[in-house]
Amino acid sequence: MENPIYVTQPSLPSLPEYTQMLQQIWESKHIANNGPFHKQLETELCNYLQVPYISLFSNGTLALITALQALRITGEVITTPYSFVATSHALHWNGIKPVFCDINQTDFNINPDKIEALITPKTTAIMPVHVYGNPCNKEKIQHIADTYGLKVIYDAAHAFGVFKNDESLLNWGDLSILSFHATKTFNTVEGGAIVCHDAKMKERIDHLKNFGFTSETTIQGIGINAKMNELIASYGLLQLKNIDIEIAKRQEKVNLYRNLLEGTKGITIFQDILNVRHNYSYFPILINKQQFGKTRDEVYEILKKNNIFARRYFYPLISQFPAYSGLPSANKENLTTASQITEQVLCLPLYAELENQNIERICKILNG
Ligand code: T4K
């Protein structure tokens, strides 16, 4: 039996270089709480991502939870059911009701044409997700937000380094959050960030992620502990040095998949979007049983038998989990596109060190 192939595998920094950085941390004994590597990583990320302010977090979920706190969001928030469950959990942890909106067939993102009908007097914000790093329809979403006085928080967990028309997606809306989890294109083992537009908001977020402390003896607001430590920040600095190579290698893998699967009946593959610099975080395909002859789940199982662990991101829909399925907006009839895609999607293995021969093997299985 061949070695297992997982949906992803993290790229790791050079161990000798990391050891050197650890040596520095050991000597300084500054291991947490806004240390020198933490500050340096914030600065370097702002430069790389072309954003004005960034606040590092210990993971993306806490960044989401804190972003909602920072904007004092309450009531109802319109969001997508087609995401990782953390998107809605962050709302729930803030006592906010998620209101699920259907998605587009083309990019898997929230369908802006369906948002307005979901607005009630309790709606305070829209929380879209740039699914797989595909840019949301910023213009339409912002227009609705401006018309109804709503905030926009982008869950940009998949959108590290994605640009549209040379503009970073992370500058859209009121706040954007990132995840640096081990499974992401840019990983710091665990980690995340909030991107914001002004110094005052950055200060507020920095206080919130540090229990609410504004000075040694003053607390403003009830914060949480969501800080990134020096061991992780230094690891992040090394990862950032390699990020362009990481993205380029992923792009090569995606191109190979596209060449090998182009024309396979019943499998939909997706091409790059015009004027978008992608980060190739996932390689989703859609499997149409009528044309392909097998269901998505059958394909998933066949791959598994071959020691290939593709993942059904995102199945089930968030709205199908028991915690959310009782909400009126979870009704499948209002989520027809999301309900169809969640049954057809399969994310094939994708990571920088994935061997071409393994991609060929996966495609051979798919091509029968
Ligand atoms: N918003 C969105 C839209 C998100 O997608 C996510 C996270 C968040 C918010 C929250 O951000 P974080 O709080 O996580 O920073 C994974 C990740 O845990 C999660 O970060 C990610 N989205 C989600 C889409 O995928 P699982 O449960 O599928 O991960 P897991 O552990 O099964 O890993 C998948 C495969 O990756 C494994 O089969 C093997 C490989 N792997 C994984 C890890 C952790 C490795 O090779 N090495 C590793 O260390 O959720």
Residues in the chain, overall count: 368
The CATH code of the domain at 15-241 is 3.40.640.10
Instruction: Report residue 129: phi and psi, to 5°.
Output: -125, 135
**Pairing mode of beta strands 76-79, 123-127:** parallel
Counting atoms of ligand 1 from 1, which one is nearest the CA of 190? 15
Nearest CA to ligand 1 atom 31: 183
61 Cα to the center of ligand 1, angstroms:
11
Closest ligand 1 atom, residue 192 Cα:
15
Please, which residues bridge with residue 355 across strands?
A: none
d(CA 270, CA 294): 20
- Helix, strand, coil percentages, rounded to 5, for the chain: 40, 20, 40
**Does ligand 1 lie within 6 Å of residue 83's CB atom?**
yes
For residues 118 and 76, what is the distance between their CA atoms, to the nearest angstrom? 10
Task: For 180-208, give one letter per residue: b (16+ CB within 10 A) or e.
Answer: bbebbbbbbebbbbbbbeeeebbebbbbb
Residue 3 pLDDT? 86
CA gap 70, 116 in Å, rounded: 24
Residue among 130, 176, 183 to mutate when testing ligand 1 (max atoms within 8 A of CB): 183
CB 244: neighbour CB atoms within 10 A?
Answer: 11
Pairwise CA distance, residues 184 & 325, whole Å: 28
CA distances (Å), 65 to each of 79, 119, 155, 347, 355, in order? 14, 22, 11, 27, 37
For residue 190, the CA-to-ligand 1 centroid distance in Å is: 9
- Nearest C-alpha neighbor of 72 from the set 226, 175, 146: 175
Ligand 1 neighbourhood includes 40 CB (under 6 angstroms)? no
Other beta carbons within 10 angstroms of residue 329's beta carbon come to 19
Bridging pattern class, strands 5-6 and 76-79: unpaired
Are both 15-241 and 243-366 of the same fold? no
Residues sharing a CB contact under 8 Å with residue 12, sequence separation 6 or more, in sequence order: none
The pLDDT of residue 182? 98
User: Cβ neighbours of residue 191 under 8 Å, at least 6 residues apart?
Assistant: 56, 57, 58, 59, 60, 179, 180, 181, 228, 232, 236
Cβ–Cβ under 8 Å, residues 52 and 198 = yes
* CATH T-level topology, domain 243-366: Aspartate Aminotransferase, domain 1 (3.90.1150)
Listed in order, strand segments (DSSP E) in the chain are: 5-6, 53-57, 76-79, 97-100, 123-127, 151-155, 163-164, 167-168, 175-179, 192-196, 213-215, 218-219, 267-268, 276-277, 283-287, 308-309, 345-348
Helices (H) and strands (E) in the chain, counts: 12, 17
187 lines ligand 1 (CB under 6 A): no
Tens-digit pLDDT profile for the chain (368 aa)? Answer: 678 999 999 999 999 999 999 999 999 999 999 999 999 999 999 999 999 999 999 999 999 999 999 999 999 999 999 999 999 999 999 999 999 999 999 999 999 999 999 999 999 999 999 999 999 999 999 999 999 999 999 999 999 999 999 999 999 999 999 999 999 999 999 999 999 999 999 999 999 999 999 999 999 989 999 999 999 999 999 999 999 999 999 999 999 999 999 999 999 999 999 999 999 999 999 999 999 999 999 999 999 999 999 999 999 999 999 999 999 999 999 999 999 999 999 999 999 999 999 999 999 999 98
- Is ligand 1 within 6 A of the CB of residue 183? yes
Q: What is the distance between the alpha carbons of residues 126 and 347, in angstroms, rounded to a whole number?
A: 26
Distance, CA 198 to ligand 1 centroid (Å)? Answer: 30
Q: Whose CA is nearest to atom 46 of ligand 1?
A: 9
d(CA 202, CA 74): 20
144 within 8 A of 126, measured Cβ to Cβ: yes
Q: Domain-by-domain residue ranges, the chain?
A: 15-241, 243-366
Pocket test for ligand 1, best of 57, 66, 84 (most atoms within 8 A of CB): 84
Taking alpha carbons only, the member of 164, 238, 200 closest to residue 53 is 200
Q: How far apart are CA 237 and CA 203, in angstroms?
A: 22
Can you give the pLDDT at residue 2? 73
